[in-house]
Amino acid sequence: MAALSNKDIQKIITAQEKIFATKEDLEKMQENNRKDFSDLLTAVDKYGQKADTYFQEMVMLSHKIQEA
């Protein structure tokens, strides 16, 4: 069985860097996910506020029509 040379070992290390995520890669991805989730929550909250306002206006309009 032939032993690996330093060049062979370096090739393996270089290839593994391209295939496997590093701790820094995972932390960056986690931070991006947090930001995306925060943006999504903000968008849902804004939509909910607009929907609530719309429904309140519809209730007021309904009462106004019933009174007339």
28 lies in some domain: yes
11 lies in some domain: no
C-alpha to C-alpha distance for 28 and 31, rounded to whole angstroms: 5
C-alpha to C-alpha distance for 53 and 68, rounded to whole angstroms: 23
- The residue range of the domain holding 30 is 16-67
31 lies in some domain: yes
53 lies in some domain: yes
CA dihedral 45, 49, 50, 55 (to 10 degrees): 130
Confidence (pLDDT) at 61: 94
Q: Give the model confidence (pLDDT) of 8-56 as tens digits.
A: 889 988 888 778 888 998 999 999 999 999 999 999 999 999 999 999 9
Domain count, the chain: 1
Confidence (pLDDT) at 16: 82
2 lies in some domain: no
3 lies in some domain: no
4 lies in some domain: no
Percent of the chain whose predicted confidence (pLDDT) is above 70: 97
